[in-house]
Structure 1
Amino acid sequence: MNQIRDAILASDTKGEDFAALPVPESYRAVTVHKDEAGMFAGLPSREKDPRKSLHVEEVATPELGPGEALVAVMASSVNYNSVWTSIFEPMPTFGFLERYGRLSPLAARHDLPYHVIGSDLAGVVLRTGPGVNAWHPGDKVVAHCLSVELESPDGHDDTMLDPEQRIWGFETNFGGLAELALVKANQLMPKPAHLTWEEAACPGLVNSTAYRQLVSRNGAGMKQGDNVLIWGASGGLGSYATQFALAGGANPVCVVSSPQKAEICRRMGAEAVIDRSAENYRFWKDEHTQDPREWKRFGSRIRELTGGEDPDIVFEHPGRETFGASVYVARRGGTIVTCASTSGYQHQFDNRYLWMSLKRIIGSHFANYREAWEANRLIAKGRIHPTLSRTYPLEAAGQAAHDVHRNLHHGKVGVLALAPREGLGVTDPQLRERHLPAINLFRDAPAEPARRDSRTAA
């Protein structure tokens, strides 16, 4: 691995040099273990600690198949699917790997007693399998996380509809939180030249997800002038939704949970910001009963910020905690577009406000290759910026996942793999200089106040 790292760090290494490098038989990776899937049984989600379940260990390098690429990973990042994997919710990911393994002899490689996780990367192509023509050893790349087979006609209008669609590093093995990663060649995209490795690794999953959910005609189809209610607007997903709304001429109404996060949204350019903790919104009276009076109070607050208008689009991902309010506050004929349920999968809402006001609920899941490519193109042009706030070494991936699980972060957190330190990988310093304040916005953001947690490592 040292040879590979040195070749990437050297400025004069050519493609044929990378092709001549020996591929190691093993590499370091962040894993969960199948025999530990029950370790948190009986504990509430909040008490499940990724630092106990995530391992950093040597694993065998997988065989390279047709249409695939082996990538040396310089940096990766933590997404909520990595948190879900680490706490074995809503179910252990080994069921995904077992089902994938039954698909074909090639897919059987993924069914292992350990799972190499991670759905983002920035790195360099080392090898390509038969049938790969667009990518070559030495190419600097990022990867999106859509894995498809495309043997069914269902996926050929929108690849997200492929019956064998999976999220790489979550529903497949050999993910990006590692020194090497195995991807399909149609997951690769050019690395933005003005970004460091860790900055380039962070947007992939969340940026593509937000693009499809908000901008694409497969999602809400946002237009100029739309009022867009964005839950968690300073978080890993919401921070990109906020940027897309601002860049597209819409009006983001940013919902956050602290004054520090509210300030981040204002620094991005948003003017309408709601600190739901400060304003003490309680959408649930108890575990089983929602409070419509709080929906109405929330809707009134939104109209105060928009000049009397309700949201055209609600950008949903918290799920159970907020979904009833989201359906209520959307304008007549408006759209609630949802891509996740981080607070719970069982949604409850008053259907009268949906059908009688002709609202729509759209399900959105990641993005197809074209959407991911367009989202990455906007990053590469400096129109949308990474929201990296902090970077961890690979050995501290458990702590990184813990911090995301406990919402102790802003934006995205990066993880260095082969990169020996932050700040490397920039090949367009002029473009970087023009956008440096925006690139560093989340790094420079005010810190969240310390939260009491007896299990936090010293």
Structure 2
Amino acid sequence: MRELLDVVLDPDRTQRDVAAVPLPKTYRAITLRKEEAEMFAGMASAEKDPRKSLHLDEVPVPELGPGEALVAVMASSVNYNTVWSSIFEPLSTFGFLERYGRRSELARRHDLPYHVIGSDLAGVVLRTGPGVNVWKPGDEVVAHCLSVELESSDGHNDTMLDPEQRIWGFETNFGGLAEIALVKSNQLMPKPRHLSWEEAAAPGLVNSTAYRQLVSRNGAGMKQGDNVLIWGASGGLGSYATQFALAGGATPVCVVSSPQKAEICRKMGAEAIIDRSAEGYKFWKDEQTQDPREWKRFGRRIRELTGGEDIDIVFEHPGRETFGASVFVTRKGGTITTCASTSGYLHEYDNRYLWMSLKRIIGSHFANYREAWEANRLIAKGKIHPTLSKVYALEDTGQAAYDVHRNLHQGKVGVLALAPQEGLGVRDHDKRAQHIDAINRFRGEWPQSTDRHEGCPGPAEL
């Protein structure tokens, strides 16, 4: 691994240099263990601790198949699917691996007693399999997380509709929270040259998800002048949705949960901000009963911020806690797009406010290759910026996932894999200088956790 690292860190390396370096037999990776899939049985979600389930293990380098690439991972990041994986909700990811493994002999590689997780990376291509022509060893890349087979006609208009569509590093093995990752070649995109490894790794999943959900015609199809309600506007998804709204001539109405998060939204350029904690919104009277009076109070506050206008598009992802309010405050003919349910999957809303006002609910899940490419292109052009707030070492991924689970983070949380320190990998220093304030906008905006842990346990610690 030392020889490999020396080569990939060399900015003057050639394709021949990378192709000639021998691959190690094993690599370090953040894993879940199948034998521990029931370790949190009976516990409430909030009590489950990713630091206990995520391990730093040495695992074998996977076999390279047709249409695939092995990538030296310089940096990765934590997404909410990292949290779901780590607490085995809503299902253990080993069920995904078992089903994938039954598909073919090649897919059987993924069905293992351990799961290397992670759905983002920035790194260097090491090897490519048969049939890969565009990407070469030494290419600096980022990866989006859509894994598709495309053997059905269903996926050829929108690859997200492929019946064999999976999220890499969540529903497949060999993910990005590791020193080496296995991806399909059609997951790869050029690394933005003005960003460091950890900055380039941060946008992937959330940036592409926000692009499809808000901008793409497969989502809300946002246009200039739209009022867009963005829940969790300073978080991983919301921080990109806020940027897309501002860049696209819309008005984001940012919902946050603290003055610190409100200030982050102001730094991005948003003016209409609701601190729901300070204003005391409680959309549920109890676990079974919502409070329409709070929906109405929330709607009045929105109209105060928009000059009397209602919401055209709701960028939904909290789910159960907020969905009734989201449907209510959307204008007649407006759109609610949903891509997640971090507060619960069983949504409840008053359907009279949907059907009688001709509103639409659109389900949105990640993005197809073209949408991911366009979202990455906007990062590369300096139109949209990373929202990286803090970076952890690979061995501290459990703590990173813990903080995301507890909503102690702002924007995105990065993880260094092979990169020995932050700030490496920048190739276009002039462009970086033009955007440095925006790149660093989320840095230092970190509410400290009071419950620390000394990293992911390795085999000797169990």
- Class of the TM-score when normalised by the shorter of the 2 chains: over 0.9
User: What residue is the counterpart of 1:254 in the other structure?
Assistant: 254
SS at match of 1:218: coil
Report runs of 4+ in structure 1 exceeding 2 Å deviation.
Answer: 455-458
Look up the match of 1:290.
Answer: 290
In the other structure, the counterpart of 1:456 is 452
Q: Which residue of 2 aligns with 1:385?
A: 385
Distance apart, 1:3 and its partner CA? 1.3
Q: How far, CA to CA, are the matches of 1:342 and 1:31 in structure 2? A: 22
- Equivalent residue, structure 2, for 1:362: 362
Once the 2 structures are TM-superposed, how far is the Cα of residue 444 of structure 1 from its aligned partner?
A: 4.0
Distance 1:384 1:21 in 2: 35
1:265 — aligned with what?
Answer: 265
Amino acid at match of 1:439: I
Aligned counterparts of 1:232 and 1:179: Cα–Cα separation in 2: 31
> Following the alignment from structure 1 to structure 2, what is the Cα–Cα distance between the partners of residues 391 and 7?
23
- Three-state SS of the structure 2 residue aligned to 1:434 is helix
- Distance of 1:59 and 1:96 partners within structure 2: 20
* Aligned counterpart, 1:86: 86
Q: TM-score, normalised by structure 1?
A: 0.98
Preserved contact between residue 394 and residue 416 of structure 2 (Cα < 8 Å): yes
Deviations 1:72-100 (A, max 9, x none): 00000000000000000001000000000
CA distance in 1, matches of 2:11, 2:157: 41
Q: Which amino acid counterpart does residue 453 of structure 2 have in structure 1?
A: A
Q: Is the 8 A contact 2:390 2:444 kept in 1?
A: no
CA distance in 2, matches of 1:444, 1:57: 30
Question: 2:419 is aligned with what amino acid?
Answer: A
- Secondary structure of the equivalent of 2:160? helix
Counterpart-to-counterpart distance in 1, 2:409 and 2:279:
21
Q: Secondary structure at the residue paired with 1:390?
A: strand
Q: Distance in 2 between matches of 1:372 and 1:330?
A: 27
Whether 1:233 aligns to 2:229 is: no
Distance 1:147 1:21 in 2: 28
- Structure 2 counterparts to residues 151-170 of structure 1, below 5 A: 151-170=151-170
Specify the code of the residue in structure 1 equivalent to 2:179.
E
For residues 204 and 64 of structure 1, the distance between their equivalents in structure 2, rounded to whole angstroms, comes to 23
For residues 50-71 of structure 1, the C-alpha deviation after alignment (integer angstroms, 9 at most, x for no partner) is 0000000100111000000000
Measure how far apart 1:399 and its partner are: 0.3
1:122 equivalent to 2:132? Answer: no
TM-superposed deviation, 1:4: 1.5
Deviations 1:339-380, CA, capped at 9 Å, x for gaps? 000000000000000000000000000000000000000000
Matches within 5 A, 1:34-53: 34-53=34-53
Distance 2:286 2:114 in 1: 39
Q: Note if 1:428 corresponds to 2:424.
A: no
The residue type paired with residue 298 of structure 1 is: F
- Listed one character per residue, the Cα deviations across residues 261-281 of structure 1 (whole Å, up to 9, x for unaligned) are 000000100000000000010
| DSSP-derived class of the 1:357 partner | coil
2:161 counterpart letter in structure 1: L
CA distance in 2, matches of 1:210, 1:10: 34
Displacement of 1:2 = 1.4
Question: Which amino acid in 1 is paired with 2:76?
Answer: S
Residue 220 of structure 1 pairs with residue 216 of structure 2: no
Residue 64 of structure 2 corresponds to 64
In 1, distance between residues paired with 2:323 and 2:115?
Answer: 32
Q: Mind listing any 5+ residue stretches in structure 1 that lack a counterpart?
A: none
For each residue in 1:15-53, what CA deviation from the matched residue of structure 2 results, as whole angstroms up to 9, or x when unmatched?
A: 011001111111000000001000011111011000000
Which residue of structure 2 aligns with residue 143 of structure 1? 143
Equivalents in 2 of 1:209, 1:4: separation in Å? 33
Q: Secondary structure at the match of 2:229?
A: strand
Instruction: Kindly indicate whether the alpha-carbon contact (under 8 Å) linking 2:224 and 2:250 is maintained by their aligned counterparts in 1.
Output: yes
- Corresponding residue SS for 1:379: helix
CA distance in 2, matches of 1:238, 1:202: 14
- Deviation per residue, 1:421-443 (Å, 9 max, x gap): 00000000000000000000000
Provide Cα deviations, 1:149-172, integer angstroms capped at 9, x if missing partner.
000000000000000000000000
Distance (Å, rounded) in 2 between the aligned partners of 1:400 and 1:356: 44
Provide TM-score, normalisation by structure 2: 0.97
For residue 86 of structure 2, give the secondary structure of its aligned residue in structure 1.
Answer: helix
Residue identity opposite 1:320 in structure 2: R
What is the CA–CA distance in structure 1 between the aligned matches of 2:453 and 2:161, rounded to whole Å? 42
RMSD: 0.8
Gaps (5+ residues) in structure 2?
A: 455-462
SS at match of 1:371: helix
Number of equivalences: 454
How much does 1:457 deviate?
2.9
- Aligned AA (2:153): P
Report whether the alignment pairs 1:279 with 2:279: yes
